Structure 1
Amino acid sequence: MKPKILTFGEIIWDVYENDSFIGGAGLNFAAHCARCGAESMLFSAVGRDELGKRAIDFVNCFGMSCENIKILDKPTGQCTVRLDNHGTPDFCVIQDVAYDNIPITDDDVSFINRSYVDALYFGTLIQRSAVSRASLKKLLSSCTFNEIVCDINLRKNCYDADSVRLCLENATVLKVSIEEEENLRQMDMYAPSCDTPEAVCRAICEMFCNIKYLLLTLGGDGALLYCSKNGEFFRAQAKKCVVASTVGAGDSFAAAWISSYLSGKDAKEATEIANTLASFVVSKTDAIPQYAFCGGKIIEKRPMLQAHRGVSTDCPENTMSAFCAAAELGYEYIELDPNYTSDKVIVVLHDKSINRTARHPDGREIEEKINIADITYSQALAYDYGIGFSKDFSGEKLPTLDSVLCLAKEKGVTVKIDNKIEKFPDDVAQALFDLVEKYGSTVALTSAKVDTIKSYAARFPSAYLHYDGPVDDEVLRELSPYSDRLTVWLPHFSPLTSWAKVPFADEKLCAKVKQVAQLGIWLIGDTESYAQVCQKYSPDIIETTGAIKP
Structure 2
Amino acid sequence: MRIRPVAAVAAGALLGLSALALSPAAAQAAPHGHPPVTVAHRGASSYAPENTLASIDAAARLGVEWVENDVQRTKDGELVILHDSSLARTTNVEQVFPNRSPWNVSDFTLREIDKLDAGSWFGRKFKGERVPTLEDYMDEVEHNDQSLLMELKSPELYPGIERQTLKELRSEGWLTSSHVKHRLIIQSFNADTLKTVHTLRPDIRTGFLGNPSVADLPKFAKYCDQINPVHTVVTRDYVAAVHGLKGPHRRPLDLYTWTVDDPATALKVAGLGVDGIITNKPDVVRDVVEGSDDEDD
TM value normalised by structure 2: 0.74
1:505 to 234, 252, 268: 234
Contact 2:258 2:279 (8 Å CA) reproduced: yes
Runs of 4+ in 1 over 6 A off after TM superposition: 363-366
CA distance in 2, matches of 1:522, 1:418: 13
CA distance in 2, matches of 1:419, 1:339: 7
Structure label with greater radius of gyration: 1
Name the counterpart of 1:514. Answer: 243
1:359 to 57, 68, 92: 92
- Between the aligned residues of both structures, percent identity stands at 23
State how 1:271-286 maps to structure 2 within 5 Å.
Answer: none
Query: Please, which moves more after superposition, 330-339 or 397-406?
Result: 330-339
Name the counterpart of 2:30. Answer: none
1:456 to 197, 211, 233: 197
| CA deviation map 1:495-526 (0-9, x unaligned) | xxxxxxxxx11111111111220111111011
State how 1:6-21 maps to structure 2 within 5 Å.
Answer: none
Q: Secondary structure at the match of 1:337?
A: strand
Which fold has the larger relative contact order, with Cα–Cα distance below 8 Å and residues 6 or more apart in sequence?
Answer: 2
Describe the shift of the 1:519–1:345 C-alpha distance in structure 2 as closer, same or farther (beyond 3 A). same
Name the counterpart of 1:330. Answer: 63
| CA deviation map 1:255-284 (0-9, x unaligned) | xxxxxxxxxxxxxxxxxxxxxxxxxxxxxx
Describe the shift of the 1:389–1:540 C-alpha distance in structure 2 as closer, same or farther (beyond 3 A). same
User: By how many angstroms is 1:429 displaced?
Assistant: 4.6
User: By how many angstroms is 1:446 displaced?
Assistant: 1.6
Describe the shift of the 1:346–1:419 C-alpha distance in structure 2 as closer, same or farther (beyond 3 A). closer
| CA deviation map 1:365-391 (0-9, x unaligned) | 875432222221111111111111001
2:260 to 524, 528, 531: 524
1:312 aligned to 2:42? no
Contact 1:310 1:546 (8 Å CA) reproduced: no
1:472 aligned to 2:220? no
CA distance in 2, matches of 1:421, 1:521: 19
User: By how many angstroms is 1:458 displaced?
Assistant: 2.4
Aligned residues: 252
Contact 1:329 1:549 (8 Å CA) reproduced: no
Describe the shift of the 1:351–1:449 C-alpha distance in structure 2 as closer, same or farther (beyond 3 A). closer
Query: Any gaps of 5 or more consecutive residues in structure 1?
Result: 1-53, 63-288, 494-503
Q: Secondary structure at the match of 2:138?
A: helix
Contact 1:358 1:366 (8 Å CA) reproduced: no
Describe the shift of the 1:302–1:353 C-alpha distance in structure 2 as closer, same or farther (beyond 3 A). same
CA distance in 1, matches of 2:263, 2:78: 38
Contact 1:436 1:443 (8 Å CA) reproduced: no
1:489 aligned to 2:225? no
Name the counterpart of 2:166. Answer: 433
CA distance in 1, matches of 2:255, 2:160: 33
TM value normalised by structure 1: 0.42
State the superposition RMSD in angstroms: 3.1
1:544 aligned to 2:279? yes
1:350 to 75, 79, 83: 83
Q: Secondary structure at the match of 1:524?
A: coil
User: By how many angstroms is 1:325 displaced?
Assistant: 1.9
Amino acid at match of 1:505: V
User: By how many angstroms is 1:60 displaced?
Assistant: 11
Contact 2:83 2:153 (8 Å CA) reproduced: no
